[in-house]
Amino acid sequence: MTSPPLPHSSHAPGAADPAGPGFRAEDERYVGRLHAGLEDFFAEQRAVLDGISPDALPLLEAVAALSSGGKRLRARLCYWGWRAAGGDPEDPAVALAGAALELFQSAALIHDDVIDRSDTRRGAPSVHRRFEGLHARHGWTLDGPAFGVASAILAGDLCLSWSEQLFARAAAALPGTGRARAVFDLMRSEVMVGQYLDVQGEVAGAGQDREGAVQRALDVIRYKSAKYSVEHPVVLGAALAGAQEPDLERCSAFALPLGEAFQLRDDVLGVFGDPATTGKPAGDDLREGKRTVLVGFVRRRGSEEQIAELEAALGRPDLAEEDVERLRGLITACGALQATEELIDSLSEQAFAALERLDAEPVARAALRALATAAVRRAA
């Protein structure tokens, strides 16, 4: 497995990178150690599951398959937060912490796909669909989709526990890092609460005031995604390396707006992205009725007719590609896409400016700049 290439830092806004391309080799070495750590852990857990019953191995295989993909964004942010705070590149604890973040991400994705009834993830069947397929292949009895959902709930729970096992090992190897434990705990609560606010917004949103729609959508992405995808990994890495306030606050000042920009990019890709690149059908956010910032801007800027058309379509699982195409036109025409892109730009500028104020090793600053650029400019 190899990590996707980072863009050259010369593509990034801000000052020229004094450290040159040196961070790329170090980043790849870290990702290599991360993968080795995950493989060792899966081998260990395979023995545990096999000892209970070989019938349980599909749980491990589903988690391992899902966790073999992805850009490793969270783990790499944690590593470079650690390095920014002066952490030792060779310390195995930071690979364990990164693996914990990646498994937390897998657990969240498994349950998120059940909740959103998503059929695919990273170009492969989602975990509940994978178990539904196992049921069909074996010709088992009763309800295949229900078996798929039950198995995915349990696979997600297992993955959540595994994430925490790995974090506890990292923390045990780095005494005096109680602040990092607090970050890890808060991160998990915030993601689950953010996801709840997301589904609650889907069912309650149409009746709520239009002016507040953009702010509510920003609250959801802050807790559901921005904090755990970007802010908490960077702060966690720095805290594991022993950083204290106010250095941790400076990490947040960089990483939180970056995380918000990252998730807004995700929302734009969820409607306008190329399914061949994102691995998910375009328009699924509309079919699921997600109250994204894009939707919030339509409600603020669109005509009554445009708002009515969007509201009638949101949450309809049967939206055809041509319906989605028409909604794309509407979101563009009323200026909602443009407003969202401007917000991404503004948040990115905040993040890059805060990065320059970070008291960090040059190589870490260069790597964080490159990761930040990739996060907000990506196409997948």
- Who contacts 35 (Cβ-Cβ below 8 Å, separation ≥6)? 1
Q: How far is CA 192 from CA 109, 120, 262, in A?
A: 11, 21, 19
Minimum distance, C-beta of residue 175 to a second copy, in the bound complex (Å): 9
Size of the residue set binding a second copy (CB under 8 A):
61
From the list 287, 286, 266, 221, the residue with the least C-alpha distance to 379 is 266
Residue 168 within binding range of a second copy, rule CB under 8 A? yes
Residue 65 within binding range of a second copy, rule CB under 8 A? no
* Joined tokens for residue 353: 């400016």
Cβ proximity to a second copy: between 114 and 324 the closer is: 114
Q: Residue 71 phi/psi, 5° resolution?
A: -90, -5
d(CA 72, CA 76): 6
* Joined tokens for residue 230: 């970007």
d(CA 114, CA 117): 5
Residue 81 within binding range of a second copy, rule CB under 8 A? no
Minimum distance, C-beta of residue 276 to a second copy, in the bound complex (Å): 29
Amino acid at 210: R
Cβ proximity to a second copy: between 189 and 338 the closer is: 189
Residue 173 within binding range of a second copy, rule CB under 8 A? no
The piece of 67-75, 202-210, 272-280, 326-334 that touches a second copy (CB under 8 A) is 202-210
**What do you get for the CA distance between the two ends of the chain, in Å?**
19
Minimum distance, C-beta of residue 334 to a second copy, in the bound complex (Å): 22
207 half-sphere exposure, CB direction, 13 A CA radius = 3
Cβ proximity to a second copy: between 151 and 292 the closer is: 151
Binding mask 122-161 for a second copy (x = CB under 8 A): -------------x--x-xxxxx--x-xxx-xxxxxx-xx
Binding mask 33-62 for a second copy (x = CB under 8 A): ------------x--xx--xx-xx--x---
d(CA 231, CA 358): 14
* Joined tokens for residue 158: 């297992």
CB 349 within 8 A of CB 68: no
Amino acid at 251: C
Minimum distance, C-beta of residue 193 to a second copy, in the bound complex (Å): 5
Residue 263 within binding range of a second copy, rule CB under 8 A? no
Minimum distance, C-beta of residue 366 to a second copy, in the bound complex (Å): 34
Cβ proximity to a second copy: between 56 and 343 the closer is: 56
d(CA 2, CA 145): 34
Applying CB under 8 A, the residues found at the interface with a second copy are 45, 48-49, 52-53, 55-56, 59, 107, 111, 114-115, 135, 138, 140-144, 147, 149-151, 153-158, 160-162, 164-165, 168, 171-172, 178, 181, 185-186, 188-190, 192-197, 199-200, 202-204, 206-207, 219, 223, 289, 315
